[in-house]
Structures are given as C-alpha cells and as structure tokens.
Chain A
C-alpha cells in the first residue's frame, strides 16, 4: 500500500516571498509522483510530475519539485509567489508498474497575501 502525507493544511505567504509545500510518501515499490493544483471553484490540473530521469522537475509557471528517494519526499517550491498562485495543491503518488489507484494527499491551501 502507498500513502501520501501533506503535513501543512494551510500555508500563508506574502506576495513575492518563497514558498515550500511539503509532501512525503511511503511505498514499497517504485512510484510516479505528481503535484496537482485546484484553483477556487475549478477542477484539478496537473502542475508537474516525476516519472523518471532528472529528479528536479519544473512547471511552466515557476514551480519546481525535487524527488528525493532517500527521504521519500517530493516537496514543491517556488522562489517568488504571485497572488494568482492562491490555490489548493495536492501531492499524489501512483505505482509505476501498472494500475494502482492514485493516492492523493489531503491538500495544502496556499494563500498569497498582498
């Protein structure tokens, strides 16, 4: 079985400040890792994903996440946040060897303060 932990349910941060949203997972097998974002009153959108290769992955809007196998982490970072980044962020994991249902974390609400 696999699980995902997002310890921070809410993260307030001032505009243009850096932010890190934490995600830790547990799994006995190789996994794929994802961050999804949900803007207010919208559905979930894929932000970035790690499948293989470079452990640092980036999104088009300045977010990045680094897969750390030894620490079983996939923290999401952005060096300077914008008001438009206010949203809920979900970390997710899936077994890389075929179907397993995606396991989501409980989400972190990022509130960017002007």
Chain B
C-alpha cells in the first residue's frame, strides 16, 4: 500500500516568508509525528498528534512553528516568518495504534535564503 507522502519535496523561500509543509500519513495510522533533521544533526522531535489532537508539542522550537491535523489524516506544519536557521529537512512519520514502529515519509527539504 501507499506509504507516508510529503509535499513539496523541496521548498526554497526567502527569509521572512511563511511556508506550509504537508504530510499524508498511511491510512489507518492514528499517530503522526513531525521531526526536523538539520545538516550534521540527528533527528529533532517537533510535535506528535494522536488523532487530531497534539498531546506533545514540546519540540516546537518557537511560536513561529505550528501544526494542525484534520480528519485524523493530513497534517500541515506551518513556519511563519522563516529564518535561515529553519533550513532543514522536515520529516513526517506515522504509526499504527500499537505505537511500536514509525513509518517515515521522504521529507521536505526547506531552504531559507
């Protein structure tokens, strides 16, 4: 079946602009996660959704970052007033109710000029 998909695959934007990153999880997966992978860094947890609610937002680096999930499916990560340090690959993952494995999307590479 279809895996986790993310769009766009690449996004180049100017400093100060807003961007929206989209994640389509695997059908039936109740949990959805956003991570950020910066050059030379590991995976940085951003936010977790269970259904449409986000019980863990502890990883969002600033109030410029927000995310929502609708219909227990698609999620959008929004970064307002982008800064150069926001440049990274943003990864989305979903997992079934058992939680014991995460399935990752291919990521969105964000470049802020």
CB-based nearest B residue for A109: B40
Q: Which among B12-20, B63-71, B80-88, B99-107 touches the partner chain?
A: B99-107
Binary interface encoding of chain B residues 67-101 relative to chain A, with 1 for a CB under 8 A from any of its CBs, else 0? 00000000000000000000000010100000111
Q: Which among A12-20, A65-73, A74-82, A96-104 touches the partner chain?
A: A96-104
CB-based nearest B residue for A98: B99
Given the contacts A90-B43, A106-B41, A101 and B101 also touching, CB distance less than 8 Å: no
8 Å CB contacts to B: which residues of A30-71?
32, 34, 36, 42-46, 49, 51
User: A75 to B63, alpha carbons, bound, how many Å?
Assistant: 38
Contact B105 A104 (CB under 8 A): no
CB-based nearest B residue for A103: B45
User: A106 to B40, alpha carbons, bound, how many Å?
Assistant: 9
Closest Cβ of chain B: how far from A59's Cβ, in Å? Answer: 14
User: A76 to B65, alpha carbons, bound, how many Å?
Assistant: 35
B-side contacts of A44, CB under 8 Å: 43, 91, 93, 104
Given the contacts A32-B100, A104-B42, A99 and B107 also touching, CB distance less than 8 Å: no
Which of A36, A44, A45, A46 is most buried by chain B, counting CB atoms within 10 A of its CB?
A44
B26 at the interface (CB under 8 A from A): no
8 Å CB contacts to A: which residues of B2-26?
none
Besides the known contacts A32-B100, A43-B105, A99-B56, 6 further A-B residue pairs in the complex with CB atoms under 8 A apart: A42-B106, A49-B101, A101-B33, A101-B59, A102-B102, A106-B41
7 closest Cβ pairs, A-B complex: A106-B42, A44-B104, A104-B43, A43-B106, A43-B104, A101-B45, A107-B42
The interface of chain B, by Cβ under 8 A from chain A, is 31, 33, 35, 41-43, 45, 48, 50, 55-56, 59, 91, 93, 99-107
The interface of chain A, by Cβ under 8 A from chain B, is 32, 34, 36, 42-46, 49, 51, 90, 94, 96, 98-99, 101-107
